[in-house]
Structure 1
Amino acid sequence: MQYRCTVCGYIYDDSKEGTPFDQLPEDWACPVCNAPKDAFEPV
């Protein structure tokens, strides 16, 4: 599944990253703009 950062548009792709988005730590942030995890939405 893919999740998009609503701030910068970065796409987190579970299949490419190796860790399901819902298993990332709560303090995980967008690697591009540092937006919090809750700024992401499913694509």
Structure 2
Amino acid sequence: MMESYRCGLCGYVYNPRAGEPGRGIGPRTEFGDLPETWTCSRCGAEKSRFKKA
């Protein structure tokens, strides 16, 4: 099940259906499959700052 996650700092929502092609993250990439080094594309927050939307 593809679940979206929201940044606790800026509110950016990572949508796994869309991914982030501009950053090399393909569509249908689950949040849990993102590398631990991945950061919010809006504010740079660490992955750990995200919660299920």
TM-score, normalisation: structure 1: 0.93
Aligned-partner residue type, residue 12 of structure 1: Y
Which is richer in strand?
1
CA deviation string 1:13-42 (max 9, x = no partner): 111112111000001000100000000000
Q: Which runs of 4+ in 1 moved over 6 A?
A: none
Counting matched residue pairs gives 43
**Structure 2 counterpart of 1:31:** 41
Task: Give unmatched runs, 5+ long, in structure 1.
Answer: none
Return 5+ residue gaps in structure 2 as ranges. 20-26
Highest relative contact order (Cα 8 Å, sep 6+), 1 or 2? 1
The structure where helix makes up a greater share of residues is 1
In 1: Cα distance, 2:6 partner to 2:38 partner: 14
What secondary structure is seen at the aligned counterpart in 1 of 2:5? strand
Letter in 2 for 1:7: L
Give the equivalent residue in structure 2 for 1:7: 9
